[in-house]
Amino acid sequence: MPALLVANGWNTPEDLNSFTGNLMGPNRIQAGVDSRSLGKAVGRAREDFMSIRLVAAIAAICLSTSGAFAQNAGKPNDAQIAHIAYTAGQIDIKAAQQALKKSKNKDVREFATDMERDHKAVNEKALALVKKLNVTPQDNDTSKALSKQAADKSTELAKLNGAAFDKAYIDNEVAYHKTVNDALQNTLIPSASNPELKDLLTTGLKIFQGHQQHAEQVAGRLK
Amino acid sequence: MRRALSAAGVTALLLVLGLRSADAAVVQIKMAQVAYAPAQVTAHVGDTIEWINEDIVAHTATARSGAWDVTVQPKGKASVTLKSSGTIEYFCRLHPNMVGSIMVSQ
C-alpha cells in the first residue's frame, strides 16, 4: 500500500463526536444573516453527504498518487472542508504523540513536538472560526478515509521500535504532509467559499509546507 | 602637554563610542504568513534586529552560520545585536520555507 495517509490512530467516532458535540453545545454562537446562509449550506451539504465524487476522492487518496485527490474530488462545501482540515490536523497530533511515546531520537522527538504544537494551534484557530461562523463541521467520506488510514498506520507503527520506528514515522510524515498539502492547494482552498476559512487554510498550507520541508530534512539526517 | 593630548584622545574616543551607540538602530522584521517581512534588510554593526511574530505558531530566526538561533513565540518578540559585517542568511528551523537575509555593513 502506498505510504500516503500514514499518520497515527485517531479514535474517529469519539473524537469526531466530541468535536461536533462541542460545536452544538451551549457555547455555540447565534449568528446573523451570513451565518444562517452558511447553515443552509450545511443542510444542503448533508444531502450531498455520500457524494460519489468524494468517494472517488477517497479511493484516489488510498490507492493512487497524491495528485489524484485534486483530479477526482468534487467540490466539498465549507462544512466538509472544515471537517477534513481539522481531521487531518488531529491525525498528525496523534501521530506526534505516538512518536513521543516510542522514539528516543532527539531529532525525531523535536519534530514530533513541533507537529503537536503547530497542529494544535491551527486546529484551535479552526475551532474558533467555525464557532464564529456558526458552521457545524460535517463528517464526510474524505474525513472517514483519512481516519481509517491513520488508524491502520498507527497499528503498523506500533509494531516498530528504535530506528525502524523513527524512519517509518518520519517517512510517513513527509508523505502525509505532501498529500494533505496537495489536497489543500488543489481542492480545499479553491473550493472554500468563506474568505476567513480560505485565509486560514492558506496560512495552514504555508505552515504545513514548512513541516514537509522540516520532515524531509529530518529524514535526510536519519539515513 | 602629553597629559592634555591624552585627555583629548579619551574624550574623543568616548564621543565616538557615544555617537556610535546613539546611532545604533533597531530594525524590525515581521514574521507573518509564514514569511519574514521584509525578507531582506540592511543594517550596521551594532544595530539590533528585532523579529515580531504575528503568526499563530512559533518561529525561529536561525543563522545558517550558527552565529545565533532565536525562537519567537506567537505574538512575541526576540532580538539579536549585530556584531560583525557581512551578509547573514537565516531561516526558520521549524518551517524551513521561511528564509531571510541581513546585509550588515560597518
DSSP chain A: --SSS------HHHHHHHHHHHHHSTTPPP--HHHHHHHHHHHHHHHTTT-HHHHHHHHHHHHS-TTHHHHH-----HHHHHHHHHHHHHHHHHHHHHHHHH---HHHHHHHHHHHHHHHHHHHHHHHHHHHHT------HHHHHHHHHHHHHHHHHHT--HHHHHHHHHHHHHHHHHHHHHHIIIIIHHH--SHHHHHHHHHHHHHHHHHHHHHHHHHHHH-
Contact state of B95 with A217 under an 8 Å Cβ cutoff: no
Could you give the dihedral angle defined by the CA atoms of residues A113, A117, A123 and A127, in that order, rounded to the nearest 10 degrees?
140
Mean pLDDT of B58-75: 97
What does pTM read for this prediction? 0.74
A113/B contact by beta carbon, under 8 A? no
Longest CA–CA separation in chain B, Å: 64
A128/B contact by beta carbon, under 8 A? no
Neighbours of A145 (CB within 10 A): 21
ipTM of the complex: 0.79
Cell of A86: 481539522
How many Cα atoms are found within 13 Å in the side-chain-facing hemisphere of B47?
A: 17
The most confident of the ranges A33-42, B2-11, B93-102 is B93-102
A178/B contact by beta carbon, under 8 A? no
How close, in Å, is residue A122 to chain B by CA atoms?
A: 7
Residue A35: per-residue pLDDT: 45
CB A75 within 8 A of CB A101: no
Residue B24: per-residue pLDDT: 87
Whole-number percent of chain A with pLDDT over 90: 65
Contact state of B56 with A213 under an 8 Å Cβ cutoff: no
Does residue A172 surpass a pLDDT of 60? yes
Of B56, B74, B95, nearest to A210 by CB-CB distance is B95
Residue A221: per-residue pLDDT: 95
A119/B contact by beta carbon, under 8 A? no
A15/B contact by beta carbon, under 8 A? no
Better pLDDT: A11 or B96? B96
Better pLDDT: A137 or A36? A137
Of B56, B94, B97, nearest to A209 by CB-CB distance is B97
A112/B contact by beta carbon, under 8 A? no
Contact state of A210 with B58 under an 8 Å Cβ cutoff: no
Nearest CA in chain B to A113: B94
Of A122, A203, A210, nearest to B98 by CB-CB distance is A210
Does residue A4 surpass a pLDDT of 50? no
CB B96 within 8 A of CB A217: yes
CB A191 within 8 A of CB B75: no
Residue A75: per-residue pLDDT: 85
Helix (H) / strand (E) element for B2: namely helix B2-23
How close, in Å, is residue A117 to chain B by CA atoms?
A: 8
- Residues in chain B within 8 Å Cβ distance of A114: 94
Does residue A2 surpass a pLDDT of 60? no
Three-state SS string over A72-121 comes to: HCCCCCHHHHHHHHHHHHHHHHHHHHHHHHHCCCHHHHHHHHHHHHHHHH
Contact state of A214 with B96 under an 8 Å Cβ cutoff: yes
